Amino acid sequence: MEKPFLLMLPGPTMIPEEVLEAGRRQMISHRGKAFAEMFRRVQEGLRTFFGTQQEVFLLSTSGTGAMEAAVVNVLSPGDRVLAVEIGVFGKRFGKIAAAFGAEVDRISFDYGEAADPERVGVQVREGGPYRAVLMTFNETSTGVTNDLPALCRAIRAAQEDVLILVDGISAVGALPTEMDAWGIDVLVSGAQKAWMSPPGAAFIALSERAWAAAETARMPRFYLDLRTYRTYAQRGQTPYTPPISVVYALDVALARMQAEGREAIFARHAELGAYTRQQVRELGLSILAKDPARASNTVTAIRMPEGVDAEAVRARVLAEENVALAGGQQDLKGKIVRIGHMGAVEKAHIDRALAALKAALEAEAKA
């Protein structure tokens, strides 16, 4: 008999049964009272995990759509911005800004490293002034979590009025996040990561400073113009048809998250992250994240031994054990295997994934 499928990607993540069930309900009017009530509940739930008093808006896009919304709502062509790059997703943020005409400076760190707050602060002080700094909270491509509060402090100290835009797609909902207290101006996330929901919705919140910038920003925007979303949210609506099935799912997922509690969720992810890393080391494998203190609690990137093709290992894990692991992206393809452990993940899942990885590595060694 075929083994049950186990999805261990850093997004999309596994969806609990009751959340899946919620997603199959009949459609309702997105302009009616029932939708408005659900929409407001979802906004409230998201807000708790964003750590903000601001409203959180829902976009019918994947996470990247929300990154684009972050850029086009507060920037103008010709604005000088700094992209802090520690992996693929940090680079993407800079590319989006460049595509809309920003002048992008880049500060890059090696794969496996977190951004050094001091170096970033110096770059802002000496290379600036910048209109914005673009950063990844948790770099999913390398399994590294940036020290976001320290980065925000260093950036603010270097330039008080700079906008801080953060891709929190694989962090918010799993890692402690305080948008307001840390001084983040734009924060985004996506349904298919820690929120245990299907892909198709992304979330974004703006600080007062960012809303002021949105009034004068001149990058082209229509579908993603957040001023329209703000107007419609007053009625418990989105301006355009929302992904109603995803909102059903999110409503149930967020109720589960509220029941478990913010602190308990953060503690569970911290424990699962540490457990995964410990088990990986016991297999004699090394972790891409260089500083153990900055290793991600939502995704672990594992280096393959010299001469072992990560893609062959992954294919074997799927074929033999029916477990889906993620590979490396771009330069890291073939070199690493990534295990997602955000959302509805339990120790037993990690044990099964790592047992499958161990068996595949042994088989590859013989092949």
Residues lying near ligand PLP in the complex (CB under 6 A) are found at 11, 62-64, 89, 136, 140, 167, 169-170, 190
What type of residue is 114? Answer: A
Tokens 């800004």 correspond to 97
Query: Smaller CB distance to ligand PLP: residue 43 or 136?
Result: 136
- Provide the minimum distance between the beta carbon of 37 and ligand PLP in the complex, in angstroms, as a whole number: 27
Q: Return the bridge partners of 145, or none.
A: 138
Query: Smaller CB distance to ligand PLP: residue 60 or 258?
Result: 60
| Residue closest to ligand PLP, measured at CB | 63
**What is d(CA 88, CA 33) in angstroms, rounded to the nearest whole number?**
41
Query: Smaller CB distance to ligand PLP: residue 162 or 166?
Result: 166
Query: Smaller CB distance to ligand PLP: residue 96 or 155?
Result: 96
Asked whether the beta carbons of 117 and 81 are under 8 A apart, the reply is: no
Query: Smaller CB distance to ligand PLP: residue 52 or 140?
Result: 140
Query: Smaller CB distance to ligand PLP: residue 113 or 167?
Result: 167
- Provide the minimum distance between the beta carbon of 296 and ligand PLP in the complex, in angstroms, as a whole number: 10
Query: Smaller CB distance to ligand PLP: residue 59 or 226?
Result: 59
**String of DSSP letters for 131-171:** SEEEEESEETTTTEE--HHHHHHHHHHH-TT-EEEEE-TTT
Strands (E), 146-284: 163-167, 186-190, 202-206
- Provide the minimum distance between the beta carbon of 2 and ligand PLP in the complex, in angstroms, as a whole number: 28
Asked whether the beta carbons of 11 and 192 are under 8 A apart, the reply is: yes
Query: Smaller CB distance to ligand PLP: residue 67 or 304?
Result: 67
In degrees and rounded to multiples of 5, residue 251 shows phi and psi of -60, -45
Contacts of 18 by beta carbon, 8 Å cutoff, 6+ apart:
252, 256
- Provide the minimum distance between the beta carbon of 189 and ligand PLP in the complex, in angstroms, as a whole number: 9
Cα separation values, 235 from 30, 59, 226, 228, 242, Å: 11, 16, 15, 12, 14
| Two structure tokens written together for 211 | 């809303």
- Provide the minimum distance between the beta carbon of 159 and ligand PLP in the complex, in angstroms, as a whole number: 24
Alpha-carbon dihedral angle through residues 40, 171, 326, 7, given to the nearest 10 degrees: -40
- Provide the minimum distance between the beta carbon of 342 and ligand PLP in the complex, in angstroms, as a whole number: 9
- Provide the minimum distance between the beta carbon of 185 and ligand PLP in the complex, in angstroms, as a whole number: 17
- Provide the minimum distance between the beta carbon of 367 and ligand PLP in the complex, in angstroms, as a whole number: 32
